[in-house]
Amino acid sequence: MAIRLMLSATLRRYIPGYNGETGYEVSIEQASTVRDLCRQLRVPENEVKLIMIEGVAGDWDSILSGNERVALFPPIGGG
């Protein structure tokens, strides 16, 4: 099954050639979690602060059913 992964800011460096406008389509196994997805793509968990699935907050154990849009955001600092 496939999902559309959207990465923000510094997380984009983990997908060579990542397109910020269209995101990245990735195939995952049935009943994969967000944690499984990040491990598959080698995106370190400690660099992800916010997980959104179809515009709703998710977590590492959220189960993906396919055709979702998953967005990952790093922690953001400011001054």
Tens of pLDDT, residue by residue over 2-13, are 999 999 999 999
CA-CA-CA-CA dihedral for 63, 65, 38, 29, to nearest 10: 110
Identify the structural domains of the chain with CATH numbers, from first to last: 2-73 (3.10.20.30)
Chain segment 24-77, per-residue pLDDT in tens:
999 999 999 999 999 999 999 999 999 999 999 999 999 999 899 999 999 986
The pLDDT of residue 79 is above 80: no
- The pTM of the full predicted model, rounded to 2 decimals, is 0.90
pLDDT score at 18: 92
Using CA atoms, how far residue 61 sits from 37, 64, 69, in Å, is: 11, 9, 16
The predicted pLDDT at position 78 comes to 57
